Every structure is written in C-alpha cells, then in structure tokens.
Amino acid sequence: MSEVTVEFPGSGGGNGAGVLAAEPLALLTDIDEFRQGYGKFKSGEWDNSKWQPFRLRYGVYGQLQPGVHMIRIKFPGGIMDVDGVRAVAEANRRWAGAKLHLTTRQAIQIYYISPDDAPEVLEYLCERGITTREACGNSLRNMDSCQLAGVCPREHVDAGKVAQRLALSWIRHPLVQHMPRKFKTTVSGCETDCASTHIHDLGLIATRKDGKVGFKVFAGGGTGGIPVSAVEVADFVTEEQLPAVVEALVRLHQRYSNRKNRNKARIKFLVKRFGAEKFRALFQEEFARALELPQRPWEPLEWRQPTEAPEPISPGGVVAQHDGKACVIVNPPLGLLTSDEFEALADLAERYGADSLRVTRDQNLAITGLDPETVTEIVGVVRGLGFGVEDEPGDVANVVACPGTSTCGIGITNSQNFGKEILDQVQSYTAKPNLTVNVSGCQNGCGLHHVADFGFRGMGKKIGGKNAPHYQIYFGGDARKNGHIGLTGPIVPARLAKTALDLVLDGYATGKVNGETVREWALRLGKDGLKALVKPIEGEIDPENEGLFFDFGEDWTFSPPAGRTAECAAGFEDDDLMRDLADDGLINMDRALAADRNERALVFAREGFRYAAERLRIRVGLPGTDDDSEELVISTIRGADEDDTGVIDALDGYLETRVAAEAGGDPAPYREALALWIDTAAEMMARPVTVEAFDPTAFDKSGGVMDLIRGS
C-alpha cells in the first residue's frame, strides 16, 4: 500500500506518521474567512439564513438591541495569561459599549459591537493568540474544567490541560461545524466534580481504577427547559482515548439527533429516545470504531496522588495550592468588569508573579501561582479595586446571573438587574454560609438556576389578564451531584421576587431540622409546603399595581419575547453540512488507510462521494433523501451536468478507481479520485447557477430524475 498521510483540516502538511499535530487555537485564516463571509452578506450574495450560522461559528452573536453584536471569546478551561486578559480588556475598550462579562462556561462576552467592527475585533484578538471560533452555534463549544484545575490538592490530574488539549484536537474539524445542535463538554480533575459533569452533553471525571489512571465518561446531561442529569457511558477510559470518546459521541449526535426540531436535538434527547442502556451500547460500539483509527497525538498528562484538603467552595477566597503556592479568587459581582478593572487585575497578577488567571463557572476570577507571603497584600489591592475576596464562607455574595433582557434576544426577564438587587440579601446567610443563588432570564438556564440552592427562572405570566414578568423558584439544586436538579417551586411576580427570597431564606433558616440540606428540607416540605412559604405576598399581587408590570431596571411595560428564536439554535443550509461531511469522509478514508483498515477506508470513501454528490443535487434544486439509491443519485447528476465535462470526468474517474480498489487494487488512485470529486463539487457550488446549468431534456428521458418526479 502507498504511504498515507492524514490531512486533518487546517494543519497544512503531514509528518509521515499518519497523524498530524493539533490545531492552533487561533488562526488568521479564520479571520480571512470571516471577512469574506461578511462581504458576501453585505453585498447581498448571502441572506441572513446563510450569514447567521456562519457568524455564530466565529463567536459573533446577535443581541436584543438591533444593529449590534455580542462577541464570545473562548478560553478552554477558562485559563488566560496576563497578555490575554489585557487583549480582551483593550478589545472591549476600543470596540464595545459595556462592561465585559464572565460567563458560566468560562468564556468572556463583550457587547454592542458594530457589525462593521466585528472583523477588526476578531483579528485583534487572533493576532494575540485568542479565538472566538466555535464559541457559539451548533458546534463543539468551549471545553470547561474545574476552577482550581492544576492547583487543587484533591485533583488526580490537571483538568484544565485536558480541556485545552481536547479543544485543540477538535477545533475546525468539519465534523463539528454544523451539528444538529450545540455540544458542551466539561472535565473534572477528581470525583468532587467541581466542573459539573452531570449537566453537560459530555462530562469527564478523572479517576483511578485497578491501579490505573483514567476517566469516567458521562453523557446526555443538560439544563434548559427539560433539565436532565447525565448517564455514565463508560466507567473507565485512558487519557489517550479521550479524543475517541469525543468522536464517538459527536458521530452519534450527527447520525441520530433531530435535525427538524432543534429544541429536541441535544444528546439528552438521544438518551431519552433510546433509553440509557441502548444509548450506552451505541456509544460503546461507536467508541470501539473510533479507537481503530488514528487520532491527533496526545501528550501524556502528569498525574498526582490527591492529598487531604477541604472541598472547594464558591467563591473560595484564598486557597492553598498543592505546590505550596496560593490562589486568590476574586469576586466581581455577577462577573461584570470594566476594561480598566480587568486590566488592573492583569497588572496585579503580573506584578506578583501569578501563573495564570481563570474564569470560573460561577463568574469569578481565580489568580493562581502566588507566593503565600504576598497574599494579604494582594487581597488588599483586590478589595481596593472594589472586588470581594472571602475571608469566611458567605462574606461575599455568591449570586450568578445570565444577562437576560439586558442584551439577550430571547430573555424574558432582566435577570442581571434582579441579581444586583439581591446581592445584599444573599451575603452572610448564617443558615448556610456558602449559599448559592442563581438567576436565569428564561427557561434555557444560562444562569444555571437548576443547580443552585435557590434558583430563579424568568418567565411571563398574566396578572389580571395582562402580561407581567415573573420568576419560578427552584430549590436544592447542586452543581456537583448527579441527579440533584433543583426542585420546582412557586411562581412569583418579578417585582415581588426579593420578598419571596427573604421568605424562603427565613423558611429554611428557621425550619430545617437536624442539619438538613436545602434539598432535604425542600423534599420534606413538598410543593404545597414550598408554596406556603411565599403565601404572604399573595395580598400584594394587585392588577392595579402598575409596578408589577415593569421589570427591574426597565422603563417599559413588560412584553414577552413571543416568536423569537434563540441565536444558538440557528439553522444552516444543507449544502454547508454536506460539504463538511464530504471532507470528513475523505479524512476518515485517510485515517483508515493509515491504520491498514482498507475495508473501512472503502466505506468512508463511499460516504464522502455521496455527500459531495448531494451538494450537486442541491445546486440544481433536486435534493433527495437519505434513502435514495446511489444509482438515482448518479443519474440525477448525469442528467443535470451532462454538458460539464469536468463534473462527468470526475464522476467517471471516481467510479472507475472505486471498482479497482474494491476488487483489491491499490486504494491510492481511488483516494485521489475521491479528493478530485469533492473538489469538483466545491468548485461547482461556487459558480452561479444559470438556466443552462440544467438540461431540460432530462425530463424527457426515462429512469433516474424523470421516474423520481413522476413517482414511477
């Protein structure tokens, strides 16, 4: 067999060993592609249905406010150096119009970006090694990890490095550009599970089994309108197998998830569809297939023996690291900072020799690698900037909130303003000092209201026949315990939610027995008991009280966002998906040949051919279905493109070399013919479609297209 080099996307050359190096996180070619796409949109060549999913893959998100964008900046594991922090601060200062926002998935968002400025922002960040690629859209999103990854005494391994390596293994891969829906991954460095694996599409927990180090694998978790805890699909995999774990789940997602209803297209719906046992079996089968093929190289991780230490709490204050250094966790309320404040924290980190800065999943900022002798001084500087650092649990308010209607197009309530309103209420709560209160502006749950001690979910509900903002209260969620999704409780008007919070806090403080957790207490009370807690506010729900129809911080009467579609659920054109899957077929053929799996290589080649052929059928307005025979596909193309010698020659060349390869001949010519066929389809798709591109006499011929149209 001829020597085969696997050409992963964007890598630009082989090493002769069948697998290439991981992708760089930031590539200037991404910016070139984005500029080209934006140019096509501005010129009218692309409509919004083409432009929207394209820009989302580059982290450019629509806002509630017309004519501006939010840009989401992606940091795997939330890990940044001081130069990265300064770059984000400067980008926000130059082009944005608000405070930057630390998110619950360890990314950073900046707002009010002019569409014409977006390419400049992306280029500025990219030149400094920072990416927004696949931070939004139906892609493999930012890889999360524990907030103390790499420094926590309890960890087996640095989960942040795992997140970074997986990100580099999959960024730009054609398989993950146009998935049925987004795919979220997180990594925990030990069984404490600070990274909340049970609410992710894929969760990895570092562990030891029979003296070996590796990971447990969980899949199918999620919050949103239907919160579900993940199921275990593998009790142990080695670190080198992690890219294959991702591949197996992504391929199941592409193959089986719902492409017609994106509201039912997450991994959790596959678990529901097949049942946990069947889904686990499907994963194991796909995982075994992925293990047969080369992956990008995996540099061995450094494992350690965990040592005794208190379980990390949030925010956390000053934490002793396992290497003798210290970490200071900074609490900017609700994760909001100005550029000057963010830059000042970078200056502080540099001045005191910090190793890194981390965005945490609860919207805080961890500064790691500090000399314990300087911690008191550092804490003083941080507090001088106006940010909290805990001395004792609870003396900094632990409130998490998504933006809600401050910027989000599908937000129902202004969760961010409500979060600001309750900061003082939550602080120093003696009944549970490390209390968590999370607020989401809608059912999608970006504020993680399902996994807090007390969660608030924004919704609309009528008072006297008129729409008013409301919150539903959730009780006893836990981000670290699988199955501990918050219990649904009463619904209260948004303007009375502060009073409702006081009532439930008092109810728990005075009503818990024998050290009950919030969840145990809520389960004992039941729905009727929880509803009774807020009964005192019923007398204040008066349709004549106009204040009930205004949300916190808003000066307009409440109106629910009827008919709005979430940006992250945007569809995409079928041709974009076919292009990606054709490229994936060619990549997989190369991988199979490199592993001497010739039979699988031939299967992948047929898949790549079919997807490229579907592009040509889409081009002439004759798309088919997955059930169409290959004979029908080929006859459609011959009828539509019979006068284009380039297409017909590429088609005939592919078919001729396939016959030889499937008869046991050298697969190398077949591989080259497939590559030419895919390139020919791409070239045809780039041409404008004209009437002459389709031969009307095809309708007068029997068989193929004519029989399909006649239904014969």
Query: Mean pLDDT, to the nearest integer, of 49-64?
Result: 96
pLDDT tens by residue, 423-447: 999 999 999 999 999 999 999 999 9
Instruction: In whole angstroms, give the CA distance from residue 298 to residue 269.
Output: 31
In this model, does residue 71 exceed pLDDT 90?
yes
Q: Are residues 404 and 434 in the same domain?
A: yes
Residue 460 has a CB neighbour count (10 Å cut-off) of 17
Q: How far apart are CA 157 and CA 303, in angstroms?
A: 5
- Nearest Cα residue to 131 out of 256, 29, 201, 5: 29
Per DSSP, helices labelled H in 512-629 are 518-533, 574-594, 598-619
What residue type is 541 in one-letter code?
A: I
In a domain, 230, yes or no: yes
| Backbone phi, psi, residue 94, to 5° | -75, -40
Average pLDDT over residues 588-608: 97
> Higher-confidence residue: 293 or 707?
293
Residue 394 falls inside a structural domain: no
Residue 693 is predicted with a pLDDT of 46
Whether 457 is in a domain gets the answer yes
Place 567 in a pLDDT band, splitting at 50, 70 and 90: confident
Looking at the fold, whether 442 and 493 belong to one and the same domain comes out as yes
Write down the pLDDT at residue 486: 97
Statement to judge: residues 161 and 248 lie in one domain:
yes
Cβ contact 143:151 at 8 Å? no
Pair 543, 606 in one domain: no
How are beta strands 336-337 and 356-359 bridged, if at all? unpaired
Cα–Cα distance for residue pair 289/233, rounded to 1 Å: 15
433 in any annotated domain = yes
Please state the rounded mean pLDDT for residues 245-249: 98
Backbone angles phi, psi at 222, to 5 degrees: 170, 160
At residue 3, does pLDDT exceed 90? no
Core vs surface per residue 608-619: b (16+ CB within 10 A) or e: bbbbbbbbbbbb
**Tens digit of each residue's pLDDT (9 = 90 or more) over 459-504:** 999 999 999 999 999 999 999 999 999 999 999 999 999 999 999 9
Per-residue tokens: 630: 């290959």
Amino acid letter, 491:
I
pTM, entire model:
0.93
What's the Cα-to-Cα distance from 592 to each of 7, 586, 604, 665, rounded to whole Å?
12, 10, 8, 16
Domain boundary among 111, 138, 165: 138
The answer on pLDDT for 13 being more than 90 is no
Burial-class residue 559 by CB neighbours within 10 Å (0-12, 13-18, 19+).
Answer: exposed
Query: Per-residue pLDDT tens for 173-228?
Result: 999 999 999 999 999 999 999 999 999 999 999 999 999 999 999 999 999 999 99
Does the pLDDT value for residue 9 go beyond 90?
Answer: no
**What's the distance, Cα to Cα, between the start and end of the chain in Å?**
45
Q: Is the pLDDT of residue 421 over 80?
A: yes
What strands lie across the sheet with 454-463, from one edge to the other? Answer: 399-401, 437-440, 454-463, 466-475, 487-493
Could you tell me if 545 and 586 lie in one domain? Answer: no
Could you tell me if 298 and 322 lie in one domain? no
Give the CATH number for residue 594. Answer: 1.20.120
pLDDT of residue 623: 85
Last residue of a domain, one of 138, 165, 182: 138
CA distance 438 to 454: 7
Report pLDDT for 710.
Answer: 36
* 125-139, 595-609, 695-709: least confidently modelled range: 695-709
Do 160 and 132 fall into the same domain?
Answer: no
Tokens linked to 386: 């106006």
pLDDT at 662: 97
Q: In whole angstroms, give the CA distance from residue 7 to residue 608.
A: 15
Domain CATH for 443: 3.30.413.10
The CATH number of the domain holding residue 352 is: 3.90.480.10
pLDDT at 55: 98
Tokens matching residue 710? 């006649």
Instruction: With H, G, I as helix, E, B as strand and everything else as coil, classify residue 550.
Output: strand
How far is Cα 417 from Cα 403, in angstroms, rounded to an integer? 8
Can you give the pLDDT at residue 16? 29
Same domain, 180 and 256: yes
Distant-in-sequence, close-in-space partners of 578: CB < 8 Å, separation ≥ 6: 611, 612, 614, 615, 618
Residue 298 shares a structural domain with residue 169: yes
pLDDT of residue 641: 86
Tell which residue, 459, 454, 470, has the closest CA to residue 502: 454
Report which of residues 149 and 709 the model is more confident about.
Answer: 149
Domain endpoint, select from 549, 564, 591: 549
Confirm whether 238 is domain-assigned.
yes
262 within a domain of the structure (yes/no): yes
192 and 289 in a single domain? The answer is yes
Q: What percent of the chain has pLDDT over 90?
A: 87
Which one, of 282, 273, 283, 199, lies nearest residue 245 by Cα? 283
Supply the mean pLDDT for the chain: 92
Beta strands in 446-486 (DSSP E): 454-463, 466-475
Q: What DSSP designation does 556 have?
A: S
Asked whether residue 41 carries a pLDDT value surpassing 90, the answer given is: yes
269 located within any domain = yes
545 and 409, same structural domain? yes
Beta-carbon count within 10 A of 513 CB: 8
Give the C-alpha separation, 187 to 203, whole Å: 6
- pLDDT at residue number 709: 35
Residue 110 forms part of a structural domain = yes
User: What does the alpha-carbon distance between residue 622 and residue 634 come to, in Å, rounded to a whole number?
Assistant: 12
Question: Taking 90 as the threshold, does the pLDDT of residue 625 lie above it?
Answer: no
Residue 293 to residue 297: CA distance in whole angstroms: 12
The answer to whether residue 672 scores a pLDDT higher than 70 is yes
pLDDT at 660: 97
- Residue 657 and residue 525 share a domain: no
Question: Count of domains in the chain?
Answer: 5
For 241, the domain range is 155-306
Would you state the pLDDT for residue 593?
97
Residues 6+ apart with CB under 8 A from 690: none
